[in-house]
Structure formats: C-alpha cells, structure tokens
C-alpha cells in the first residue's frame, strides 16, 4: 500500500494538512489499490440518477403516460369523523342513543344531501365542495394500521407507522423533479408550529427532495419565509459571496466524488438566492383581487389555499395544506361545522380557479385524515378513534368523478366492501403521475425501497384502486 507515501509531498516530504483528514471515500481510494473505491462507485451507480447527482430537481418524464402533473394534499389533522362528513349512515342515525357495549351510538348531527348530477351524498357542511361533486370520488372503505395520532399520521405521510421514511411529496419530487427551479418542489403549509419533521422528510433520498414547511398564519413574506431578505448585503454582494462559496465548494467536491449531501447543500444555497425574488412574489397575496380573497375566505385556511393555488400554477410539484382541529372527542355538531366553514369555501374556490386555468384535469387533489372515528359516543357529542374505517376524497388528475367507492358496515365501524389501505391510496397517486409504484425505488444498503414497501414479508404493499380511475 502507498498510504503513508501519499501523506507527504514527494518533493520535500512535508505533511499536507488536507491529506491528514481523509473521508471514507478517500481512504477507500488510497487503500487496496483503489478496489474499495471501485466497489463503492458501483454501489452508488445502483442508487440511480438522483443519488449520483446529489438530487436533480430538473423536470423528468415518467415511464408511463401521466394523468396528473402535480399534487395537492389537504390533510385534516386529528382524525375527521367519516360518518359525519363523507359516509351517510341511516342505520346509525336511526339507532342513535342505543347502547352498544358500554357506550351509546351517536347519530350524526348533519344531513347528507345529494350533490350534482350524480347525486353523490356527503355532509351539508360542504356546500362549496358540493358544487364540484361530479368531479370527486369518495373512497368510503379506507383503513389504516393503528388508531394512534402520531403513528397514523406518519402512515398517511410516509407509508410507515414508525421510523423514518421519505414522505409522499419527496417520492413525487424524486420521480418527477419540479417545473420551477426557483421555488421548493415540495411545500407543506400549516397555521402555527411545524408538524413532526418526519412527515415531510426526504429520509434516505437526497437532500434536494426535502419538504419545506411554511407557517400560513403569517401574512408578511418576511415572516412566512425567515431571512428571505438579507439585512447586511445587497443582492449584488450576495451574488458575489455565493459565487465565491460555489467555487470553494466545487474545489471541495472535486476531491470528494459522489457526495450527494455536498451537492444538495450547494443547490440549496442557489435556490435560497433565487427564492428572494420568486418566493416573495408567489407567497404575497396582496395583489389578489378583493373578490378573490372573499371567495377563498379571509382566514388562515383561505390564505393557505390561495397560496397553494399560486404555488401549483408556478410549477411546484407537491403542495400540502393542513387544517388542525379534527380531534373530535366532543362537540362534533359545532366544531366540525366550524372547521368546514373555514375550509369548504377555500376548497371550492381553489377548484374553481384550477378549472378556469385549465389545470384541474392534471392536478390530483386528495383529502385525507390519519384515521376515522367510531359510531359510538366518546365524551359529549364526540367520537373515539377508529383505524378500521375512514374516507378519502379525490378529484382531478384522471379520477372518475361523481362516485363513491367501497363501503363500511351499516353503522360505519369498519371497511366492508372493497377495503382500501392507505398504501393503496399511495399506489394510486403514483399511478396517476405515471409510475408503477413497485418500480419507483431507491436503493439503500443494497436493498431497493419504495413508498409502498411492505413492512414484513406478506404484509400490505399497496395496489392501485382501479375502480376510481377515469
């Protein structure tokens, strides 16, 4: 081995400081006649284009013809009661107040009118969404693995109930890239504090596919995105500083081939610089017409849904908006109505705007919650946790409208006809974007991983819900 020899300058035999600190890749290169590095390069090649490049965000063409180009997820945090929102249960209502075990059945406080030409039934508290009933499909037979908030939320966002796996948005970004290189390709919004970072993480995917959190309570761009403008340097000076940093990083990178983390960091600096202009414009709704603001609703939900539309039309690939307040162990009659009164106008307005812009047909919208609720009363006028039944609402992006798919039992306790696991929803999303969910993989430790990965041999691995596709 020539390891010791390489530590010294051949001319004067003095140690070079940079050679006294070796990365694992450098050590592999300098030992065993370089065969370690050869093996490493082969392993890296197996990890695909994103790993090798540090995570390319350039737009990519999926292997199959896509029905959707972008995705909007509306997440109802807390576990929304499906039999009060999406799944009418006449039998439950007829037996409200009757004992079941040590608790009583709770009738829904809401009526379920028929909407649109299809006559699709869902709660009266969604009148604006009702205008689009013929464009939506309700999967009434969705279920999940655990009735615990953190675990079930993680399942909806990443496909697992424990650990750290890439979020749905990260997988979408990994597969498709983004159409706007001046904005993050995956943005999650929520009024208030950031959710558990595991719900928008890139995990083992390159850093470029990490989700970006935005607090939609804020109205000023400086508060929405911290440090969007430098207090100490002009854009010209920032450009000079960034150019110098890029040169130094490039020298560093040349000595450390295939380090995706470094390239992701370099790309993040460039993105941050470009965002000073583009993000300011995208998140600033001051220029929206008063009539538009009124249509969405002058609330945090209206604001973030309006921003979501602005991001989607600017090429952001995956946008998520979250509404808290759906942990309804009591007071469903008032609290569910209040929540819907803030969200429903915003959803209706967004769908109107997407249709007006010709974007609805290739934008996949899906409304989810971590799990459903029990038909039995829990607390005063509320319901308990239920992993065995919930509803998923989908629209646009090649989804067949005006229909309900699957069903729960007569009181909404469990999925009965055509049960659909959360991973089946994930598989369907990828399918509409032009991917075989079993083929969109990333190799880690010599093993391919995917969004719909079975937890164990023979476990749930996801399948496309063909019955809701147009």
The reply to whether CATH 1.10.760 applies to domain 58-223+282-468 is no
Query: What pLDDT, on the 0 to 100 scale, is given for residue 53?
Result: 39
Count of CA atoms in the C-beta half-sphere (13 A) of 345: 18
Q: What is the per-residue DSSP string for 99-138?
A: EETTEEB---SS---EETTTTEE--TT-HHHHTTGGGEEE
User: What residue ranges of the chain have pLDDT lower than 50?
Assistant: 1-22, 24-54
**Predicted TM-score of the model (pTM):** 0.82
Q: Round the CA-based radius of gyration of the chain to a whole number and report it.
A: 25
- 114-130 pLDDT, tens digit per residue, is 999 999 999 999 999 99
Domain residue ranges in the chain: 3-46, 58-223+282-468
Q: List the beta strands (DSSP E) in 329-379.
A: 363-369, 372-377
- Per the document, the length of the chain is 470
Q: 371 CB contacts (<8 Å, ≥6 apart)? A: 79, 144, 146, 147, 152, 385, 386, 387, 390
Query: What pLDDT, on the 0 to 100 scale, is given for residue 21?
Result: 46
- 397-433 pLDDT, tens digit per residue, is 999 999 999 999 999 999 999 999 999 999 999 999 9
DSSP 403: E
The CA distance from 450 to 103, in Å, is 41
Q: List the beta strands (DSSP E) in 303-342.
A: 318-323
Token output for 236: 């010209």
Token output for 383: 């319901």
Token output for 369: 């919650």
Question: 């929803």: which residue's tokens?
Answer: 425
Query: What pLDDT, on the 0 to 100 scale, is given for residue 27?
Result: 45
Query: What pLDDT, on the 0 to 100 scale, is given for residue 260?
Result: 58
Query: Between β-strands 318-323 and 186-190, what pairing exists: parallel, antiparallel or unpaired?
Result: parallel
The CA distance from 185 to 166, in Å, is 14
Query: What pLDDT, on the 0 to 100 scale, is given for residue 336?
Result: 98
At what angle are helices 300-313 and 332-356 packed, to 10 degrees? 30
At residue 76, φ and ψ (nearest 5 deg) are -95, 95
Give CA torsion, residues 9, 12, 16, 22, to 10 deg: 40
Query: What pLDDT, on the 0 to 100 scale, is given for residue 251?
Result: 73
Token output for 364: 């996949």
Query: What pLDDT, on the 0 to 100 scale, is given for residue 4?
Result: 31
Q: Identify the burial level of 340 via C-beta atoms within 10 angstroms of its C-beta, where 0-12 means exposed, 13-18 middle and 19 or more buried.
A: buried
């Amino acid at each position: 081995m020539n390891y010791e020899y390489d530590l010294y300058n051949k001319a004067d035999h003095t140690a070079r400081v940079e050679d006294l600190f070796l990365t694992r890749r450098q050590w592999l290169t300098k030992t065993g006649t370089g065969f370690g590095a050869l093996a490493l390069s082969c392993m890296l090649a197996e990890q695909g284009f994103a790993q090798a490049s540090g995570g390319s965000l350039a737009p990519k063409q999926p292997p199959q013809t896509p029905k959707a180009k972008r995705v909007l997820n509306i997440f109802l945090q807390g576990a929304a009661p499906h039999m009060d929102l999406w799944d009418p249960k006449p039998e439950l209502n007829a037996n409200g107040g009757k004992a079941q075990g040590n608790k009583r059945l709770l009738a829904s406080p809401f009526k379920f009118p028929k909407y649109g030409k299809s006559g699709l039934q869902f709660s009266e508290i969604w009148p604006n969404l009702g205008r689009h009933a013929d464009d939506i499909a309700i999967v009434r037979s969705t279920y999940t693995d655990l009735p615990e908030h953190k675990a079930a939320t993680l399942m909806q966002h990443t496909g697992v109930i424990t650990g750290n796996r890439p979020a749905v948005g990260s997988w979408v970004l990994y597969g498709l890239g983004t159409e706007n290189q001046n904005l993050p390709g995956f943005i999650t919004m929520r009024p208030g504090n950031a959710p558990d970072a595991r719900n928008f993480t890139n995990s083992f995917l390159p850093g470029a596919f990490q989700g970006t959190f935005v607090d939609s309570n804020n109205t000023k761009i400086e508060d929405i995105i911290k440090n969007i403008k430098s207090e100490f340097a002009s854009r010209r000076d920032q450009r000079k500083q960034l150019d110098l940093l890029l040169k130094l990083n490039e020298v560093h990178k040349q000595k450390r081939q295939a380090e995706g983390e470094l390239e992701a960091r370099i790309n993040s600096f460039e993105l941050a610089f470009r965002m000073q202009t583009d993000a300011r414009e995208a998140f600033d709704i001051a220029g929206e017409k008063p009539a538009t603001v009124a249509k969405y609703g002058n609330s945090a939900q209206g604001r973030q849904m309006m921003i979501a539309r602005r991001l989607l039309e600017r090429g952001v690939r995956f946008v998520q908006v979250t509404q808290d307040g759906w942990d309804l162990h009591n007071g469903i009659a008032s609290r569910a109505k209040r929540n819907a009164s803030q969200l429903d106008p915003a959803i209706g307005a967004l769908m109107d705007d997407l249709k007006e812009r010709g974007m609805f047909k290739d934008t996949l919208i899906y409304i989810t919650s971590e799990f459903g609720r029990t038909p039995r009363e829990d607390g005063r006028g509320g319901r308990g946790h239920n992993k065995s039944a919930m509803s998923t609402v989908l629209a646009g992006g090649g989804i067949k409208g005006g229909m309900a798919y699957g069903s729960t039992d007569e009181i909404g306790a469990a999925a009965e006809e055509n049960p659909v696991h959360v991973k089946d929803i994930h598989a369907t999303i990828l399918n509409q974007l032009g991917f075989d969910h079993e083929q969109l993989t990333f190799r880690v430790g010599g093993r391919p991983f995917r969004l719909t990965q079975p937890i164990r041999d023979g476990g749930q691995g996801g399948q496309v819900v063909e019955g809701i596709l147009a």
